A and B are shown apart, each in its own frame.
Chain A
Amino acid sequence: DPKIIQKPKYLVAVTGSEKILICEQYLGHNAMYWYRQSAKKPLEFMFSYSYQKLMDNQTASSRFQPQSSKKNHLDLQITALKPDDSATYFCASSPTNQAPLFGEGTRLSVL
């Protein structure tokens, strides 16, 4: 059974709309992350949270907003979607000083 659950697995959106990508981890990890993988770029770090606090934000656009309602949740809200936002978004988690374990990703297509 997957320990990091991402929903939905596939998502199609129209330009200008807003979507929320869901991530829950059942590993007891204190740190959670979002990464993005697109055709044009390698795996790219977006955000990191530790104990529900934002640790780092490498995403230039404010259209991307992480939301942590519980310590094992880290959702990603994306507003005003653009075709360039089309990518696979991976949620990951780790204990302190360990390599992140990745979820299976949400594949977002913006038309």
Chain B
Amino acid sequence: GDSVTQTEGLVTVTEGLPVKLNCTYQTTYLTIAFFWYVQYLNEAPQVLLKSSTDNKRTEHQGFHATLHKSSSSFHLQKSSAQLSDSALYYCALSDRTGANTGKLTFGHGTILRVHP
């Protein structure tokens, strides 16, 4: 089956320093889309980034990610972490070949804690 792996359960970083959250995947889908969702405490998950193009960098709210099919990865990065970035981050994939494109497979999530 399809799977998404987020190796870190918790990432702690000092405000102003760069941060990277890892995401790798295994899938049998031929056409895929990837997402990073962010979930703040007691809120709903919301889309942060999305991509379906190999080797193309996508950016939003200071975060960026590049889908690399050669290494099956879609890591999330930011050059300067902010206190407000503290949240739970999910990597997810979906199959783009059928009609059920909203069916996402999520990783276990990475808690990002940014401290002063």
Contacts and interface: CB of A to CB of B under 8 A. Distances in A.
A binds B: yes
Interface of A: 31, 33, 35, 42-45, 48, 50, 55-56, 58, 90, 92-94, 96-105
Nearest to A92: B102
Interface in B81-105: 90, 92, 94, 96, 99-105
A56 B100 contact: yes
A94 B102 contact: yes
B103 A90 contact: no
7 contacts: A50-B100, A56-B100, A56-B103, A90-B45, A96-B101, A99-B35, A99-B102
A104 to B, nearest CB: 5
Assign chain B's interface to a size class.
Answer: 20 to 34
A79 to B, nearest CB: 24
A43 B39 CA distance: 11
B106 interface: yes
A33 B101 contact: no
B108 interface: yes
Given A42-B90, A45-B104, A96 B45 contact: no
Contacts of B44: 90, 102-105
Nearest to A47: B103
Nearest to B92: A43
B10 interface: no
Identify the interface centre among A31, A100, A104: most chain B CB within 10 Å of its CB: A100
